[in-house]
Amino acid sequence: MRIGMGYDVHKLIKDRPLIIGGVRIPHDLGLLGHSDADVLLHAIMDSILGAAALGDIGKHFPDNCDKYKDISSIVLLKHTADLIAEKGYHIVNIDSTIIAQKPKMAPYIDLMRENISSTLNISKDDINIKATTEEGLGFTGKELGISAQSICLLSK
């Protein structure tokens, strides 16, 4: 058994879609990034890669590579699953937290879990996603960005 943790943060800006957990969420701001900037999936991928001692998403999907420009993070998540499968690992469970003042994430969490479950080919029951605000404090509380944290347990 191996455990890994992941963290990601992206700045909120105008004229970008807000995509979290593979779900397009209606909001007047979106996340800035080279790919679709899906902060939750990026944290999950880092937790998976970390548990397998395979580095991080920057190593596998560099932000200076045109191949990953505006790519869906669902595609990157699938590639991450393939990388750990090659090493003989499978995911036991994932627990993640989205930190955002707005918008409310609760209406979208079940769909996020479904997207992750089908992409990783694991049970939805093995994926937990929580969301919290920072009660107006810090960069997330001031709606300057959104962050996510994740932890993943792998087994061989």
pLDDT tens across 123-154, in order?
Answer: 999 999 999 999 999 999 999 999 999 999 99
What are the distances in angstroms from CA 80 to CA 7, 52, 129? 16, 10, 19
149 marked as part of a ligand binding site: no
131 marked as part of a ligand binding site: no
Tokens of 47: 């937790």
Which residues sit opposite 24 in a β-bridge? 19
8 marked as part of a ligand binding site: yes
H or E segment to which residue 127 belongs: strand 127-132
135 marked as part of a ligand binding site: yes
Q: Tell me if 23 sits within 8 A of 115, measured CB to CB.
A: yes
Predicted TM-score (pTM) of the model is 0.97
101 marked as part of a ligand binding site: yes
pLDDT tens across 43-74, in order?
Answer: 999 999 999 999 999 999 988 989 999 999 99
28 marked as part of a ligand binding site: no
Chain mean pLDDT for the chain? 97
pLDDT tens across 26-45, in order?
Answer: 999 999 999 999 999 999 99
- The Cα 84–Cα 26 span in angstroms is 33
Which residues sit opposite 76 in a β-bridge? none
Please name each of the domains of the chain with its CATH number: 2-155 (3.30.1330.50)
35 marked as part of a ligand binding site: yes
